[in-house]
A and B are shown apart, each in its own frame.
Chain A
Amino acid sequence: MAYRDPVLVIVELKGGNDFMNTIVPYTNGIYHDCRPIVGLREDEVLPMNDTLAWHPNTVPLKEMFEQGDVAIVQGIGYPDSSRSHFRAMDVWHTCEPIDIGTEGWLGRVVRDLDPKGENVLTGINFGKGLSRALAVSGVPVTSVDDLDNYGLMTSIKEDPKRMRAIEIFKTMYEPAIGTGVVMDYLSQTGLDVIKGSDKLKMAPAMYQSDVEYGSNSIAKALRDVARVHLAGLGTRIFYTQHGGYDHHANEMPSHPKLLTELSEAIRDFFQDLRNHNASQEIVMLVFSEFGRRMRDNASGTDHGTGGGAFIIGDGVNGGLYAEYPSLDPSRWANGEDLEHTIDFRGIYATLLEQWMGMDATPIVDGTFEQIQPFKEVV
């Protein structure tokens, strides 16, 4: 079956997740000194070991960790110049920390998986707007905001009318000789969108599940991923975002809510796949563009550097990977941030080489230290 090929699901926590308040160094005095307001007390966290504890709102994720399905990548980041925070997401998406990259790393992955662009669903983005990670000129990928209402001209409510309009659209976008490369590209893109939506509309109809997902955006997106994966349409890369992590202010009331949404959605997603006997081929990477500042600003935290990521799935050998960044002020990056301990490009390479069975070097543009988070390596 086609969908037994390894599949990667990427969840981007948009805005810079506060890793220190997710996996909390709860016995470290420096943490409590730096976070008098935007911090968690020792008696409210859920200890993992003598030094680290889970945020109280991550119970479902903690349980998956205890079952051995979650690898925590501590201290993920990249060699940074302090002024480039605003570029962080671009850097993660293009693997170009210095130059301005134009090709998204997952777009390159899609190109390698499907060099002729035969399946426009090889890579799918769920959410509003295509992530830069998936954008490579000439590589068709699909971006879905609402799976139940996906496609062209969806505002035309009467079905026969809409079908008619789409038929005409198809003939209008038929490639014609001598109209130029840009017009040709537009034709191809238009017809790809139609092809993609023709296949995708099967997914909701085929799906049946007992799992009830939450009603927030990440739950909805992961349910869409499950529905498309279970339809067996050959998708190898799924991408989605969970927004709202840029907590410069009001972090204490809003961060826990996001962590609840996220961990419940991940639990429900894997439960759903397991119920359908379709979880073995999936690995999920949850990442964020950076961690946050050591010291809080009395209401939130400003942009930092080193953060954390999670690799989740049945094939994962759960546990702690890389090193938790030192909290010792003499080791802070830029005098105020956690220093990263492992380069994100090594984590991408880990997933690509050890899970997807691909050559990562040209995709991440170099060789970087990898971790070994999988039970079996392809």
Chain B
Amino acid sequence: MSNTDIALMAHLMRRAGFGATRTELEDYAERGYENVVEDLVEPERCDPIDEDILHRYFGSFEAGYVEKWMYRMIRSKRPLEEKMALFWHHVFATGVGKNQHLLASARQIDTFRRVGLSNMREILIELSKDPAMIFWLDNNENRKGEPNENYGRELLELFSMGVGNYTEDDIKNCARAFTGWTFAQPPPLYPQGFYDAKFVFLEEDHDDGEKTFLGHTGNLNGDDIIDIIVEQPACAKFISRHLYNFFVADEPQVPSWHVTPPQDPEAIEILSNAFMESKGDMRHILRTLFNSDFFKEARGKKVKSPTELVTGILKLIGTYERPDPGMGKYSGATTLMGQKLLDPPTVEGWHTGREWIDGGTLTERVNFAVREVSDASRPGIAELINRLKAEGRALAPDEFVEKCLDLAGPMTVSDTTRESLNKFAESGGDLDLSADNGSEESTDRVIQMLQLIVASREYQFA
């Protein structure tokens, strides 16, 4: 197995998952790229995470949901399931800030995990029946004779097709078709407690009249609307561009998509075709995506989201092999970096790419990463030092830099970065971790090197 294989595998796991340890990367590379892609898109091939253990360690269901989710991200054997849950969370951005109903928001993520790798029709049906979404976009106030267009509009504009592919009349008729799609909320046992809200269809609130939507006329209900949407080439293109933006390379923000063409129209074409020929089967589309050249060549073309940065560091340092307490500080860390999971700022979702970065968030990102890699006793760091030791000889400064970049990534860096790191390495001479000279000082030099690497510009990119 070559270093090229390892580097490609690391790329795949940063995008389709949340990073991987060196040992995991070696195992994956052994299995072969296309086989690993199959394992990712067919998650049933791998064991699910043990829910009982999660419950035992993270306590009651909703309170620690984000921590629990972050634990899943770094430890699930089905990383793409979690990555797709995050993807749909980006696209179908629903904020707990409005509903103040953590349980409903948590259930929505569970739904995205469950159906995220199914087909677009099922995904949109589940979305339209999701109580958190219904409340977020006021579909519980969408009734026969007094339609509320909020959900109908966003379903078309932000969740499936994008502006320019339907008329205002289509929005009105879409909203009418979703009248009566609401939820029931059992009264809570305690003033601050919650029970699950459940989707209900209220016949008496549903508008049974004739509607015309994208050229189809009839007594259309919500599921008819979704049937029509998923057959539109516009839907295939829109979702393909979302997938490209999330998995391949940063695109401009969604509201500009109808005026700014995609940076790689051919890639979008390939993904849209995969969408159309499979009737929106996510597994097929993602298989196509991960096996494509445009994906393999996209290393470093995405700014890591705060969630990706934090989970990537956790994978690197190898902590939380088991669900120990204390993960709350990591959801706090992503919040400070501008991504509070379960609470995107608006229905438009987080602005991604370079918009993740400002003076404050860059400081948070760098300081977080530098702090977390500082402890040589963390399993991932200890393992990395052992691998350097296993070289069995003193490493010249440029080798020292090369090995660290390799083990922390493998990462490709600019000449500027490499020269800076070399300068640092040279100031301490050869690195000798062998038994006699494996002093604290040498270990410390490795730590400092890692701190510089995770502080680099390149580390901000996936």
Contacts and interface: CB of A to CB of B under 8 A. Distances in A.
Interface of A: 83, 85-87, 90, 100, 102, 120, 125, 128-130, 132, 135, 137, 140-143, 151-156, 161, 164-165, 168-169, 171-174, 176, 179, 181-183, 185-187, 189-190, 192-193, 196, 248-249, 299
B354 to A, nearest CB: 5
A143 B363 contact: yes
Nearest to B148: A83
Given A171-B416, A171-B423, A172-B420, A189 B451 contact: no
A125 B97 CA distance: 23
B1 to A, nearest CB: 30
A155 B192 CA distance: 39
A143 B374 CA distance: 24
Given A86-B97, A155-B371, 4 more contacts: A129-B336, A137-B355, A172-B421, A190-B362
25 contacts: A83-B138, A86-B97, A128-B336, A130-B360, A135-B358, A141-B359, A142-B359, A143-B363, A153-B366, A156-B451, A165-B452, A165-B455, A169-B452, A171-B420, A172-B457, A176-B415, A176-B416, A179-B414, A182-B353, A187-B457, A189-B362, A190-B366, A190-B457, A193-B363, A248-B100
Contact of B417 (A161, A164, A172, A185): A172
Contacts of A151: 363
A355 B394 CA distance: 65
Given A125-B360, A130-B360, A172-B452, A90 B345 contact: yes
Contacts of A90: 345-346
Contacts of B358: 130, 135, 141, 143, 189
Contacts of A102: 253, 351
Contacts of B434: none
B345 A182 contact: no
Contacts of B250: 182
B288 interface: no
Nearest to A125: B360
B150 interface: yes
Nearest to B338: A129
Contacts of B451: 153, 156, 165
Chain A to chain B: the 10 pairs with minimum beta-carbon distance, closest first = A143-B360, A86-B98, A155-B371, A130-B360, A171-B420, A172-B420, A176-B416, A182-B354, A153-B370, A172-B417
B359 A140 contact: yes
Given A86-B95, A153-B370, A153-B455, A249 B192 contact: yes
Contacts of A176: 414-416
B442 interface: no
A135 B363 CA distance: 15
Interface in B423-454: 423-424, 448, 451-452
B167 interface: no
B300 to A, nearest CB: 9
A168 B420 contact: yes
Contacts of B414: 176, 179, 183
Residue among A152, A164, A179, A189 with most chain B CB within 10 A: A189
Given A83-B138, A153-B370, A171 B419 contact: yes
Nearest to A107: B358
Interface in B238-295: 250, 253, 255
Contact of A83 (B97, B150, B361, B363): B150
B165 interface: no
Contacts of B230: none
A168 B452 contact: yes
A189 B359 contact: yes
B400 to A, nearest CB: 14
Contacts of A196: 359
B185 interface: no
Nearest to B100: A248
A356 to B, nearest CB: 22
B307 interface: no
Nearest to A185: B354
Interface string B355-388: 1011111111011001100100000000000000
A135 B355 CA distance: 10
Contact of B455 (A130, A172, A189): A172
Nearest to A157: B374
Nearest to A173: B457
Contacts of B370: 152-153, 155-156, 165
A172 B416 CA distance: 6
Contacts of B336: 128-129
Contact of B362 (A120, A164, A181, A186): A186
A209 B40 CA distance: 61
Contacts of A130: 358-361
Contacts of B122: none
Given A153-B367, A155-B370, A176-B415, A129 B452 contact: no
B179 interface: no
Contacts of B364: 129
A224 B128 CA distance: 48
Given A86-B98, A165-B452, A186-B457, A143 B359 contact: yes
A293 to B, nearest CB: 14
B460 interface: yes
Contacts of B338: 129
Contacts of B371: 155
B405 to A, nearest CB: 12
Contacts of B255: 100
A122 B138 CA distance: 41
B367 A155 contact: yes
Contacts of A174: 416
Nearest to B415: A176
B456 interface: yes
B119 interface: no
A192 B358 CA distance: 10
B303 interface: yes
B26 interface: no
A248 B97 CA distance: 13
A99 B354 CA distance: 22
Nearest to A102: B351
B312 to A, nearest CB: 17
Contacts of B402: none
Contacts of B359: 120, 130, 140-143, 189, 192-193, 196
A339 B437 CA distance: 75
Interface in B157-179: none
Nearest to A129: B336
Residue among A135, A151, A248 with most chain B CB within 10 A: A135
B335 interface: yes
B5 interface: no
B38 interface: no
A183 B355 contact: no
A168 B346 CA distance: 38
A199 to B, nearest CB: 13
A299 to B, nearest CB: 8
A277 B419 CA distance: 49
Contacts of B455: 152-153, 165, 169, 172
B348 interface: yes
Contact of B348 (A100, A140, A193): A100
Residue among A90, A141, A168, A171 with most chain B CB within 10 A: A168
Contacts of B456: 172
B447 to A, nearest CB: 10
Contact of B357 (A120, A153, A185, A299): A185
A155 B374 contact: yes
Contact of A182 (B98, B191, B303, B420): B303
